[in-house]
Structure 1
Amino acid sequence: MAFLSRLKQGFGNTFSFFGDSWAELKKVRWPSRKELTSYSAVVLITVIVVTIYFWLLDIGISELVQLIV
């Protein structure tokens, strides 16, 4: 009997978690299409800039290692 009560309590906590999560999602202010587009552009530009930075850094370090070796 103790096992069944623990099992029931565990499922109750799971259902409570999903119910609370759904309630919190209703409170979220979702971005408009214009905001989403501008945020996505900022992220893509940032990723491209950081990628180029590390690519150049990698080339520089590789050249230094080649000179040392």
Structure 2
Amino acid sequence: MASGVKNTGKFLRDVGREMKRVTWPTRKELIKYTGVVLATVFFISIFFAVVDLGLSTLVRTFLD
């Protein structure tokens, strides 16, 4: 059981060391990346909505 606590402590120290090495984005970069993600989600949702509408219309045409 003691080795588990030892391993946990080492893991947390290693995580702390790695977090200091991380290059965090600037505020400007973060806003830019967020805009890219939101635009991508918007366009993909519109694409799938159009495809869904087209397919459902096609299926309704064949079933009626």
TM-score (norm 1): 0.88
Q: Does 1:27 align with 2:21?
A: yes
Match of residue 3 from structure 1: none
Aligned length: 63
The aligned runs of 1:1-69 (5 Å cut-off) are 7-69=1-63
Distance 1:12 1:32 in 2: 36
Q: Provide the aligned C-alpha RMSD in A.
A: 0.6
Shift of 1:48: 0.2
**Structure 1 vs Structure 2: percent identity of aligned residues?**
43
Moved over 3 A (4+): none
Output one character per residue of 1:11-44: Cα deviation in whole Å (capped at 9) or x when no partner. Answer: 1111111110111000001011000000000000
TM-score (norm 2): 0.94
Larger radius of gyration: 1
